[in-house]
Every structure is written in structure tokens, then in C-alpha cells.
Amino acid sequence: MDVQLTPPAFVQSSTGPGGMPPEAPMPMPAQDLRYKPWRESGHLISAAVLYARFILISVTIGVTTYGVYQMLQVVRFASMTFLQGTMIFFFAISLGWIAFAAGSVLAGAAKRREPILSDKSGVGASLTALVMPIYNEDPARTAAGLQAMGEALQHLDVHHGFEIVILSDSTNADSWIRETLAVARLRGALRTIMPVWYRRRWLNIARKSGNVEDFVLRWGGRYDHMIVLDADSLIEAPTLHRLVLAMRADPRLGILQTAPQLIGAKTFFARLQQFASCVYGPVITHGLAAWSGDSGNYWGHNAIIRVRAFAQYCGLPKLQGRKPFGGFVLSHDFVEAALMRRGGWKVRLTAEYGGSWEESPPTLIDIAVRDRRWAQGNLQHMKIIGSAGLRFISRMHLGVGIMSYLSSPLWLVMIGIGFALAVQSRLIRPEYFSHDFQLFPTWPRFDVTLMMALFWFSMVVLLIPKMIGLIRALLSRSIRRGAGGVIGVAAGVLLEAVLSALYAPILMIVQSRHVLEVFMGRDSGWKPQRRDSGGTSWADAWHFHRRHMALSCVTAVIVYFISPPLLAWVSPALLGLFLAVPLSRLSGSEGLGKFLSRFGLLRTPEEADTPALVKRREELERISEALPSDGLRYLARHREARDAHINENLPRPADPRGQPDPHVFTAAQKLADARSLDEALQWLTPTERVEVAGVTRFLNQLALLPDSAQPSSSI
């Protein structure tokens, strides 16, 4: 049974097309990746940034060189086999990757804090759009977050310099109609504070980047800056204000990216990610900010962008070739940052501004689904990293993104080579006299003591970011107070390390499969991200992870028959795979998350003392009237809502001459044949429902139909 609602009060009337302001076009040409644009001569790099880069390079090269040298001592270099040489090659890449992460964190530890602008004057002289692209999201929650931010800006008395712009790419008719209803209520709530604009695209070209590009092309000239938000983003009013002040203070600043923290986690896995973000995130962010300098990165949300510079230099080209490497750029944010920097604008990452939040996917499977799209987007950067004119640091950011997904198959290959070496030593008899007239035998060499020392050295390098994060957390009064004191922080870090070690082999296999699928030419598609805490059923966990369990069992049996001591070495990785199904099932458990929280484990300061902005969003979401599950039925029976939906949306674009949309014709015929509203809604396909929701005459036809067909009289 559908929810019966009171039609909202539609109080804001737009002065432009649909629900948007008058168009203010701004050209946004697609950039030629083969052409290096002219830019002003670069400014000098600060001594602090050079020092951070020196630490990063020294640690990365030093640790990798030492590790490879010691690895060469484990085996005799002169008699090294092909498998041993391959093993050392992949070991060098893997060790260099973890050494780079350690060096980045150490560089950030030496970074001095930046001054925070706090002047409240003059923001009204500029206009900033709070831009939220959405795709089949829960509009009640997104509207609650935007309303909370709008009210907070009013309390700070800087709201006159902001406008809210919601950019929809939703492809579901019911989601679209719920968005219209939610936006109408949001406009009513903020009618005395700031304008609220809404636009849904009919053609979802280039996904999120195309959504934002369409906004800049048609309305970009109206705004000085835009703060891009995700559907789950929240930014405190003082932080929004400081972002605008920073742009006004530095006319060459193109993008300023905040460091969003995870918040609002309920499930066990989301709480694990949230705790790790709280403890380790700041030291990682400080490191990135330290060596990036003015060549920072952009993460696609919770950042402020100078619209004029974005339009001039960040138009994305369509890559040559077939998907997944060709076509539209998926992970657009890294590329936009690189192009912005190529054009001579500064791109900075600030680790000092707090009050910037996002949410984590609730389960292990949700992480895996999201990572499939991210893997394709980051690997697509292999076609972009060599573009003309990019700064070296921008290429490093692209390379880090690529390596973040290639590292999993590289680790898997290295483990496989180690397994092959074990099989070789077990089944192949060594050749003691490899040369004619050799007087003394060549004894096989494998220094176990040195190998153990090298293993523990690698573990120390791997844990450096966690150790520095732990030290910082213990020195922070707010984290200690919110995470259960010194014991709570230390116990949480230990628990997170153990659980991460169990989840790591699962994610390694999942990401390796993603990389393989990308190289096989399989496209990820575009699926909406689940943001609620729906959990994972045993059936879903078994369906997704049964191969992981089978792989661990088969590998354990083979390794046992080859070498029982080797089984002890690989058992930590095999244990995580063997427990993949229960670990995935527990990842979505809210009960386990609450249980750990009661003992002060995996807690964060925001959980102990919820920020006012988060409280306000939760309150607004709780008291908001439910939105209809069947949007077309609701519009058919509520004329005011129907008229507002028609008036506050851009009209459907006309079909090209000679290419009529067949869904329009089939929808029209079904509506003409239907004798009741129930019958019409039952006949319409999802695509036809969208067409009906966007055409006035179709909606009016629905409104004229009775709820159910009258019984026909028998003859």
C-alpha cells in the first residue's frame, strides 16, 4: 500500500528554465592531451615542500635498495635461477610501494601546520555553488544534509554568498519524482536563506564528470566557485567559509581539496574503516599535502573549485579506443587536477580544515562493488599519465592511483612465484656440478636467518604509517577522549591491525580479479552505491566468496603435501580466505558494531560527541515526511505535486530528426489502451516510466484514469 502524503508547499519559483536560474553559459573546451598549453613561468617551490620530497625520495630509494640488496644475499647471485630473479623483481616493486607509503607519512610528520584564515568579511562579494551530483540516491537524506548546511551557514551569517545546486542523473522514475518532492520541501525550508536549484539530465553522458560539465557549460558563468559534494557529504559552515576565503586570498588557487573523514558508520566493517580513517587518515593526508605542494590532487568531492579555471582547462576529452580503456574518463577527479595544474593553476590539499565528512560503504561486498568501478577508472589513467605538459607530481598522483590496484595482482604473482620455488626445491634435484671439470660442488644456498630478518624489516616498513598514526592518536586529547582513552586507542589499533590482516587477502583476490577483468575488456557499468546499513545475508556472502574459500582449501592441501613448514608461512593469508564467508557476513553486522562500541573499541570522537551538523541532518531526516514508493501513482493523484514536477524540471529534449524514441511511442500506446491506473502502471517498463514522468500529456492521461478497471458487463 502506497504512502499517503500531504502535497508540499511549493514556494520558490525559478526565474530560468525548469528548476534552474537563468542560463549563464561558460565555454568548456575538451583538452587535447597531446598538446602542451601555454602557461606562465612556474613559481619557486618552497623549502618545506622540497624537504618533504627529499624525505619521500630518500626513504623510498633507501628502503628499496637495502631490501633488494639483502634479498640478493639470501640466494647466490651468480647461480640465481630465473624464478629467483623474477621473485626479486616483484619483491623490489612491492617493497618500493610500501616504502613509498612510509616515506610519505614520514614526510608529513615533519610538516608544519598551515595558518587557517578566519576573517568573516567579504564573502558575499563572491557567489559559490554547493553542487551535489546525485544518481538514484535517497533524496530525503541528501536534502536533509543540504538543509543542515544551509542553516549552519545562516547561523554564521555568510549564507548570502552560497546557493545550492542539485544535479541529478537519476534513471529511475520513482527516484526522480521523489527528488522533485524533496527539493520542493528543501526550497520551502530554505526560502529565506538561499536559493535551491535542481536539474535532471535526460542524457547521462560521461556520468558524473559529464553532469558537472553540463552545469558549467550552461550556468557556470553565474558562479565564482563551486564546492562539489557527494550524496553523503557534509561540511561544516566554518569550513565552507574558510574554503571561500582561501580562494579569495590566492587568485591563482584553482582547487582546494579538504581531507574528509568517515562518519556515521553503523556496521562492523564500516566502523573498522571509520576508526582507521580517524587514526591513520590525518598522517597520510599530511604526507600527501607535504610533498604535493601546489601540485596536489582532487578526490571528486568535498573540495572547492574556481569555476573559470575549471572551465578553461578541465574539459575532459573522450579517449580513443573501446571500453574499458577508451571512452569517457571514469576517475575524472585525478585527471581534472592534473589538467588544472597543467594550465598553471595551483591545486592544494589542506589537512588543517576539519569538519569535512563522508560515509563508508557498509559491507565488504559493497566495498568490492565500488572498487570495480574505481579499478577501471584508475587503470584507465595508463592512457593519460603520458599526456603532454603534465607536472611530474601530477604524473605521480596518477601513478599512485594506478599502482593502488596493480599492487594486489603483483603481490599475488609474488606469492605464486614463492610457491613455485617451493615446489621446485621439493621436486627437482639440485645440480651440484654444473660445469665440466668442477672440483668442488656448488651447494644450494638459502639463508633462512637473513630471510627472517628481511621479513621483519618489511613488516616494520609496512606498519610505519600505523605506528605514526597510533602515536598521533595517543597525543591527541580529542581522540583519546572519544576512543576510550589510551587503552581504547591501543586496543582499537591492535584489533584493526588483526582484522585488516584477515580482510587483506580477500581484497587482494577481489582487486586482482577486477584488474584482470579490466585488461580483458569488461566494462564496469554504472550502478548506484548503497549507503544504508542493509547488511549481508549468508546467501550473498556464500555466493560472493565461495571461490575464495575453495581456493584457500585447495592451496592448503597442496602446500601441506609439498612442505608442511611452508604451510605455516602462508597460513595467515589462507586463513583470511578460508573465513571469507563469515567475515563478509559479519562485515554488515550492526549488532557487532554496537557490541564493540560498548567496550570502547573502534570508536571515534564524532561518535562520542556527535557534531551539531550531523545531529541536525539526522533530526531532519527523522522528522521528514515519508516520500512515495510509487512516484507516478502519487503524481497522478496529486495535481499540485504534478504541476510542480512539470514546472520545476527541464523539458524533455526533442528527438533528432528521423530518430524517434520508440519508448515514447510504446508508452503512449499503453496509456491509450489502459482502462485503469493500476493497469497502466503494471504495463509500463522502467524506461517507459521515465518517459511518462517527463511528458505533461502522459501525466495528465494517468491522472484521468480510475484507480482500478470497472468490471465489464457480460453480454
Q: Which helix (H) or strand (E) holds 130?
A: strand 128-134
Residue 495 has pLDDT above 60, yes or no: yes
- pLDDT tens column, 351-365: 888 899 999 999 999
Per-residue model confidence (pLDDT) at position 117: 55
664 within domain boundaries = yes
**Is residue 357 in a domain?**
no
CA dihedral 617, 619, 622, 623 (to 10 degrees): -120
| Contact (CB, 8 A) for 123 and 153 | no
List the grid coordinates of 323.
Answer: 571500453
**653 within some domain:** yes
640 in a domain, yes or no?
A: yes
Start-to-end Cα distance in the chain: 34
Rounded Cα distance, 262 and 359, in Å: 5
Distances (CA, A) of 364 to 52, 59, 412, 429, 507: 35, 33, 20, 44, 9
Grid cell for residue 448 = 633462512
Tell me, yes or no, whether 655 lies in a domain: yes
Task: Give the confidence band of 417 by pLDDT, cuts at 50, 70, 90.
Answer: confident
Judged against a pLDDT cut of 80, whether residue 123 lies above it is answered with no
If you average pLDDT over residues 662-672, what whole number do you get? 94
Helix boundaries (H) for 579-661: 580-587, 590-598, 605-608, 612-623, 631-637, 639-647
What integer pLDDT is reported at residue 131 of this predicted model?
Answer: 98
Residue 42 has pLDDT above 80, yes or no: no
Per-residue pLDDT at 436 exceeds 80:
no
Name residues whose C-beta falls within 8 Å of residue 113's C-beta, 6 or more positions apart in sequence.
Answer: 352
**Residue 700 lies in domain:** 633-704
**In sequence order, what DSSP letters do the residues of 196-265 get, joined into one string?**
EEEEE-SS-TTHHHHHHHHHHHHHGGG-SEEEE--TT-EE-HHHHHHHHHHHHH-TTEEEEE--PEE---
CA–CA separation, 468 and 463 (whole Å)? 9
Separation in Å, CA 571 to CA 117, 576, 577: 52, 9, 10
- pTM: predicted TM-score of the whole model, two decimal places: 0.91
pLDDT digits (tens, 9 = 90+) for 276-327: 999 999 999 999 999 999 999 999 999 999 999 999 999 999 998 888 888 9
Q: What is the pLDDT of residue 321?
A: 86
In the numeric block, which cell numbers belong to residue 202? 535526460
Per-residue cell: 387: 599526456
Question: pLDDT-derived band of residue 6, with 50, 70 and 90 as boundaries?
Answer: very low
Of 189-198, 438-447, 466-475, 550-559, the poorest mean pLDDT is in 438-447
Cis peptide before 282 (omega within 30 of 0): no
CA dihedral 209, 214, 220, 225 (to 10 degrees): -20
> What is the separation of C-alpha 577 from the centre of its chain, rounded to a whole number of angstroms?
25
User: Per-residue pLDDT averaged across 579-596, rounded?
Assistant: 93
Which residues contact residue 465 at a Cβ distance below 8 angstroms, ignoring those fewer than 6 apart? Answer: 101, 102, 105, 280, 283, 284
The full length of the chain comes to: 715
How many other C-beta atoms lie within 10 A of the C-beta of residue 421?
A: 18
Strand 225-228 relative to strand 261-262: parallel, antiparallel, unpaired? unpaired
Specify whether the CB–CB gap between 674 and 683 falls below 8 A: yes
Residue 360 within any structural domain of the chain: no
Whether the Cβ atoms of residue 370 and residue 529 lie closer than 8 Å to each other: yes
Cα–Cα nearest to 602, from 593, 610, 590, 611: 593
- Whole-angstrom Cα distance, residue 300 to residue 208? 9
Beta strand segments in 238-376, E: 253-257, 261-262, 303-306, 346-349, 356-358
For the segment 623-635, what is each residue's pLDDT rounded down to a tens digit? 988 999 999 999 9
Residue 19 lies in a domain: no
418 pLDDT higher than 90 = no
Nine-digit cell at 573? Answer: 593469508
132 bridge partner residues:
166
Total number of domains constituting the chain: 1
Average pLDDT over residues 26-42: 84
| Banded pLDDT at 77 (limits 50, 70, 90) | low
pLDDT of 438 strictly over 60: no
- The residue written with cell numbers 580544515 in the block is 353
Average pLDDT (516-527) is 82
More confident residue, 85 or 430: 85
User: What 3-state DSSP class applies to 164?
Assistant: strand
**Residue 140 pLDDT > 50:** yes
What region does 624 belong to: left with phi over 0, alpha with psi -120 to 50, or beta?
beta
Give the cell for residue 621.
Answer: 531526516
8 band by pLDDT with thresholds 50, 70 and 90 = very low
Structural domain includes residue 672 = yes
8 A C-beta contact, residue 611 and residue 355: yes
